[in-house]
A and B are shown apart, each in its own frame.
Chain A
Amino acid sequence: MGERAMDRAHAGHAHAGTREYLKVGVMLFVLTVVEVAVIYLEALRPVLAPVLVGLSAWKFLLVASVFMHLKYDSRVYSGFFAVGVVLAILIALAVTAILA
């Protein structure tokens, strides 16, 4: 079991290159500009909340998957982080909903 996991960890050692980091940097910049732009677009007003949440989730996932290399690393890390974030979101939504 240990051996197998070790092989996977070694095989997955191909981390992102400088090019991919720069690409993500540019994406983050563009997404931030889009985020700020959409709040001044009257046409988007009715769907603004989901759009903003979506854009921010996109940035979140970009940083987590590439900069924090979850895309390349052991699934164990992604699993723990996902459990923490999902639990955090569920509890935050529940408490906010109950107290709203």
Chain B
Amino acid sequence: MSHSSHAASMPAGAAAHGHEHHTSLGIPNHKLATWLFIASESMFFAALITTYMVFRYRSVVGPHPDEVVNIPLTTVSTFILLMSSLTMALGVSAAQRGESKAVGRFLLFTILGGIGFLVIQFYEWWHLAHHYGLTWNTNIFGSIFYILTGFHKAHVIFGMIWLAVLAVSAFRGTLRREHAVHVDVAGLYWHFVDVVWIVIFTVVFLLTEAGV
């Protein structure tokens, strides 16, 4: 035991990321795990979207999906979320160049995009509840509509908290180039949430409006 010593004061990075340098596949553990998580999340949202597809027109009382979808509003929020993915991608490449302040700015834009998306989406929830009387207790469409979009919102909110933590580090200048993989994996998560919305936008909104 006398030969072991605590090394909490070791140069950070060297110890913390020692295992990242020699991996069997030559790719970082964090990133591999994040992609596995994303693959797993695909199954989660697929199960919810399947529930939507099976239940959407089974309600015995209205309102039904085709009476309530708001294409213009949702198009705007979709556009905002897509653009937040663009700023996220730019943030990741700034992180890979080690430009800490730029990372902070891009992350801030991304978070603002997330806020914009959420504001419009929550307004839509409020609108559905007050003008159409649609809540998650009203009918089976209401149940799955709020749960599906609600779990997506929860993912957006979690992503914003994650990005905010990184943004604080970036503005303090402590998010250095060797930490780029942390921004990278947060970005992957954010893009995935965006990709899920692309599918929800089509399945829940566009196909309904198109009467398919």
Contacts and interface: CB of A to CB of B under 8 A. Distances in A.
A20 B90 CA distance: 10
B195 interface: yes
A88 B42 contact: yes
A59 B75 CA distance: 14
A19 B46 CA distance: 33
A49 B210 contact: yes
Given A18-B93, A21-B93, A68-B191, A8 B26 contact: yes
B93 A16 contact: yes
Contacts of B198: 56, 59-60, 63
B206 A35 contact: yes
A88 B188 CA distance: 19
A43 interface: no
Contacts of B38: 81, 84
A2 B35 contact: no
Given A63-B191, A63-B195, A67-B88, A9 B27 contact: yes
Interface stretch (B77-85, B140-148, B155-163): B77-85
Interface of B: 22-27, 31-32, 35-36, 38-40, 42-43, 45-47, 49-50, 53-54, 71, 75, 78-79, 82-83, 85-86, 88-90, 93, 96, 187-188, 191-192, 194-195, 198-199, 201-202, 206-207, 209-210, 212
Given A8-B26, A80-B39, A39 B209 contact: yes
A56 B25 contact: no
A18 B86 CA distance: 10
Given A9-B26, A56-B199, A96 B53 contact: yes
Contact of B202 (A56, A77, A92): A56
A53 B202 contact: yes
A71 to B, nearest CB: 12
B50 A96 contact: yes
How would you classify the secondary structure of chain A's contact residues: helix, strand, loop or mixed?
helix
A76 B27 contact: yes
Given A66-B89, A89-B46, A49 B212 contact: yes
16 contacts: A2-B22, A5-B27, A29-B83, A32-B79, A36-B206, A39-B210, A49-B207, A53-B202, A60-B195, A68-B188, A74-B25, A77-B35, A80-B36, A81-B38, A81-B42, A96-B54
Interface string A19-48: 001101100110010011001000001001
B207 A52 contact: yes
Contacts of B93: 15-18, 21
A48 B86 CA distance: 28
Nearest to A84: B39
Contacts of B96: 15
B50 A81 contact: no
